[in-house]
Amino acid sequence: MSDLSKADIVLVEDNPNDAEITIRSLKKHRLANKLVWLKDGVEALDYLLARGEYADRNINDLPKVIFLDLKLPKIDGIEVLEKIRNSEPVKKIPVVVLTSSKEEEDVVKTYNLGVNSYIVKPVEFENFAKAIAEVGFYWLVTNITPST
């Protein structure tokens, strides 16, 4: 994506293979035109809160959805989610956890923090790509979000 300021999807994923599958699946279904891939929790918060290297970004240009991994370097996904839910104007952005963790504790924590959906990444490529396409279509096309 050339204009990092106006993303429809923010993908927060440190694993390049999982990010590639996600991006490919979304592109295949024409859902990735405005996607920003961020590789750790600090970068995600800097982007979303328009600070650091993203300080010039208009914080009111909100993405339609955030796909968030939990196992991230620097700041983990649970802390990122907590900061999102406690920060105006980003707190109403739908957040979908995409993770390999099936831990009940992670599921409970994220829902208590206001996650909109929790998806365990399927191991098989085809199933992972299909799940991403379905989730992307729902959050970008079907779902209605409040305007700012």
Q: For position 48, what pLDDT does the model report?
A: 96
How far CA 139 is from CA of 55, 71, 129, in Å, comes to: 27, 22, 16
Q: For position 3, what pLDDT does the model report?
A: 54
Domain at 9-142, CATH class: alpha beta
Percent of the chain with pLDDT over 70: 95
DSSP letters, 5-17, are TS-SEEEE-S-HH
Element (H, E) at 35: strand 35-38
pLDDT band, very low/low/confident/very high, at 124 (cuts 50, 70, 90) = confident
CB 110 within 8 A of CB 3: no
Q: At what angle do helices 77-85 and 104-112 cross, to 10 degrees?
A: 20
What is the spatial distance between Cα 28 and Cα 23, in angstroms, rounded to a whole number? 8
pLDDT digits (tens, 9 = 90+) for 40-74: 999 999 999 999 999 999 998 999 999 999 999 99
Percent of the chain with pLDDT over 90: 63
- Beta-strand (E) ranges in 62-123? 65-68, 95-99, 117-120
Amino acid making up residue 39: K
pLDDT band, very low/low/confident/very high, at 147 (cuts 50, 70, 90) = low
The residue among 115 and 125 whose pLDDT is bigger is: 115
What is the spatial distance between Cα 124 and Cα 80, in angstroms, rounded to a whole number? 27
Kindly report the average pLDDT of the chain as a whole number.
Answer: 90
Listed range (2-11, 69-78, 95-104) with the worst mean pLDDT = 2-11
Residues in the chain: 148
Which residue reads 């970068």 in tokens?
A: 43
Q: For position 2, what pLDDT does the model report?
A: 39
Phi and psi torsions of 35, nearest 5°: -120, 135
